[in-house]
Chains A and B, each alone.
Chain A
Amino acid sequence: MAPDPKKPAKEKPLTAIVLLDSFDQRFAPILEKSYECFGFIPLANIPMINYTMNWLLRTEIESVMLVATGKSQKYAKLVENEWGSAFEEFSVVICDGSSSLGDCLREIHNRELITDNFLLISNPSSLTSSTLSQQIRDFRKRRVENADNVMTLIYGGCENREKSVIGVNSDGKLVLYPAATSSGLIKVDKVDFYQNAQIRRDVVNTGIALCSRLIVTQFNDNFDFSTMEDVIRELLSKDDILGLNIHVDVLPQNESAYMAKDYDTLLHLNTLLLERWFYPLTPERVEVSRFISVCPRNIYLEEEDFLNTSMSSRIVLSDASVNVSLGIHTKISKTARIYNSSIGSNSEIAENTTISNCIIGKNVKIGKNVEIFGGFIGDNSVILDNSKFPEIIIGNGVKMAEIGENLENSAICSWQVDEDEFEKIVAQKIGEELYLWQLRNGGGFWKISQGKIGINMSNVEENEEEDEDFEEGSDEDFDVDFDDGFDDSTRQFYDEVFESMKGMQSMANQQMNNLILEINSSKLACNVSVDDVAKNVFAAFLALPGMEDLKELLVLIKKWRPLFINYYKSSDSNATARKLEMERKCQIQMLMAIEEKFDKESANFGPKCAKIVHFLYNDADVLDEEAILEWAGSIDSGSKLRELMEPIVKWLQEDDEDEEEEED
């Protein structure tokens, strides 16, 4: 393209939108009453938002929009004071009451603050050593080539710790992305391989995305979207309808980029930073008003004042210590061994202690002979002598000795959680002023991929096997809102169908067509497969109020026959073999729904089973005998259901013989 003299020589530089908060509740133990703002969690003793601002300085970006929730307003002001002069434009957007990235972006959309392409940093801990100039250039080129190229995700070239994979095709377009519950596993079909999808697991998401305006409108259009991942999945699944493309740009090997999503990656990021992988983004060059001197073996000593640069002569760390960042006035014993950790100011570490991969806050006192192999210790805590901890998270003000309990997947705080505010966390008291916090759904605190959700090696399909996986109990009582193997979207679909049916039931004039329309639109919205539709429609039907009475049930089945015909039977007698096959599958799914209900409420439902099936076959003429026979054959032989179905099966088989005889 020859440069057009009339066009402006340089494109307007991108705006950056930086989020100051993280909406992930697993960080609650360390945020509440302590740092209060995710962006201010210290990495190498410096609040992480400073690193983000620092690397933004090096890109072409001149205008920054800092987005914070109402609670973090004063922190946003602090950032503005510090960094405002470094950029041409620096604005702070306060989104009161937002609880997710989606909310913030919707707010921005409402205020019409974004008019062009922008760089979105959805997590303040996204750090990179790159200036992103090449990536931004490529993004602009893609936008010009095709207006449907709406987003470019920046990925770092390093294997990620959750071992998740993505599928990318040869143009860099994202084609496969892990589903919500599957912790990094993706479903791949043959088609994907035909289209040259490359499965990559050597890349790590950095949380940096170059977006066009359309992304904001995406968030605006759908109020359910809360994270960037939702949008990505939506765009991928609606690829054929919306036709919007997401691209993936993997940084070259000489550039580093990383993001912290949970404690494990936070500590890894800390280590990477201390090892200077993000040079020129290094701890001592970030904040202008702090003076940090670097000693050999990557030991960062903070000085109080630039006039007293004698810290290096006062601190003597053991020879083995490496990658350490010390705040001011820390007292470390000579025999303590510290690896890959940051220690806040005024902390004390006594003899013979080994601290490895930790972020320790201010005023923390750690006793003798303690071994901590990974932990996040909040301010003002005390760790008593002779304790040994594998990965732990300790909130503020905790006085901690070694406790025998299994501390995996939990955090220890000295106060009870405010359950209204943090609905995803439950806490139990385990000692005096000690509370054990856990995620309600049993997910991993330390690592996202730990815990119950996620170690699901089977595909995310609606099988009954999944139910079993999730029965390893936690002590918590689950509400009706369990996540027991249903894909989020299937669950949603089920709920919607149930609502529709309920609504229909209460109406005087029950138009099946409307119901069918509603169910269909739910199906499209939730993107469920035909099998799922079949099963869930009937399951929802069975769950309707008033279904306990068999007579009512049968009456309603008759009344709603058109609905069932639509889904389970083809009216067209010239249906192709394939269509018949589909039907049979749907009918089997229907029967599966019955089976599931039986499994759940066998006492109540059992006797009705056979009658319902009979009715559906005979009177309502919704089921075909092949389907029934196939399904009956597949029921677990030990199950009571089989016994109940025996008579029907026999009757059907006799029926067949009769028919055959007749035909003869």
Chain B
Amino acid sequence: MTEGRTEVEDLKRNFVLALRKNTKRPSSSTISMNVINFLRKIILVEKVKTIAELLASLHNHAKFLSAVEPTELIIINIVLMTSKLARDELNKKNGNGNIRAYDSLFTLCKPSEPTDMKDTDMKKIKKDLIESIRELTIEIDSCRESISAQSSDLIFNQDVVMVYQLETSKTLYSFLAKTREANRKYRVFNVIPESKNEELNDFTSSIRLHDVASKICETTKVFLTCIAVFPDGSCLVPAGGQSIALMAKRHSVPVYVLAPFYKITPFFIPDPNALNISQRTNMPFEFSAKSAGNVEILQPAFDLLDSQYIFQFVSNSSCIIPAHINRLKEDYYHPEDIALY
């Protein structure tokens, strides 16, 4: 069955199949964990002699994955993070561990390319790399808790909070739940899209998207989830988030966006529309008998939210204003990786 395919290719295939097998998109943290594990396996299996080769193969995988799943920016992010970790290992090896890649003022001359290393070091490098990857894994795992921990700083008594699609995000849910634990009394408006009439929780009241205009007058804060954050502070939010943010801006209500660090994308997407894939149309199937071919039903997955509408990003370390995202990306990514991409 695997004639002509190497183990690495097999791994790649299985990873992609596993990703595509799901009917519903799993949560972002699950995806990132899967990616990390996949990368760990690849690194273990990949037979490379130098770091350069390792990096090249990682980038190859990044390109492959992004071609295969262009909408999942997290995948690329994680691969790039791994690549940074690899470069860090290299720098440590070279004794340049303390030089930050971005401090170009201090270092006039620094090695711009990873030098060739001897074979025996590869094993150690790999071992260390796997170790750093493990730390990364732990960090991803604990993202949700760290974000939720900040909720008590943000939501106070008598607050009226508006959230969008609470049921799709575990992070958002635990964020709100944490505040309840702290015994803060506040109200939550949950904007739900289609006619899902269930009252999911006892502490939220559900409203529809077209009711937002009338309810925004009473709202004090808006919390949104995001899909990816770009270096200029703009972000991709689930479709519909933009109109909520626009209303909030009109009524001067602050908009907070929950963004775990692995969603911070170090590069710009030239045309987010090209990325914006339709999901399933939610029309009943019988509509297709008449409409197929004649009616184009638009169901984009994302909305691009400009940075001017966002008050703060709530990340796992702290709250960040949009202007600082650019600087923050340096913590996780290496400039050369971004340039290559």
Contact = CB atoms under 8 A, between A and B. Distances in A.
A551 interface: no
B120 interface: no
A298 B281 CA distance: 12
Contact of B284 (A57, A253, A272, A309): A253
Contacts of B22: 58, 280
Contacts of B273: 296
A256 B23 contact: no
Given A158-B285, A277-B285, A81 B1 contact: yes
Contacts, number: 113
A294 interface: yes
B286 A253 contact: yes
Interface string A285-313: 10010010111111000010011010010
A406 interface: no
Given A294-B277, A312-B274, A280 B288 contact: no
B20 A54 contact: yes
A295 B272 CA distance: 10
Interface stretch (B63-71, B85-93, B111-119): B63-71
A296 B280 contact: no
A401 interface: no
A323 B2 CA distance: 35
Contacts of A253: 284-286
Nearest to A269: B292
Interface string A272-286: 100111111000010
A86 interface: yes
A39 to B, nearest CB: 19
A297 B296 contact: yes
Given A85-B10, A288-B16, A303 B67 contact: yes
B20 A285 contact: yes
A322 B274 contact: no
A446 interface: no
A86 B14 CA distance: 8
A15 interface: no
Nearest to A339: B293
Interface string B2-33: 11000000101110110011110000000000
Interface string B285-302: 110110011001100000
A157 B284 contact: yes
Interface in A467-487: none
A288 B284 contact: no
Contact of A276 (B2, B17, B68, B278): B278
A348 interface: no
A259 to B, nearest CB: 14
6 contacts: A268-B292, A276-B278, A276-B280, A279-B280, A297-B296, A306-B64
Interface of A: 54, 57-58, 80-81, 84-86, 90, 129, 131, 156-159, 161, 202, 251, 253-257, 268, 271-272, 275-280, 285, 288, 291, 293-298, 303, 306-307, 309, 312, 322-323, 339-340, 356-357
* Those 10 A-B pairs whose CB atoms lie nearest each other, nearest first: A306-B67, A279-B280, A253-B284, A291-B67, A84-B1, A159-B289, A340-B293, A256-B285, A271-B293, A271-B292
Given A253-B284, A298-B278, 15 more contacts: A57-B17, A157-B285, A158-B288, A268-B292, A268-B293, A275-B293, A276-B281, A277-B280, A277-B292, A278-B280, A291-B67, A296-B276, A306-B67, A309-B66, A323-B296
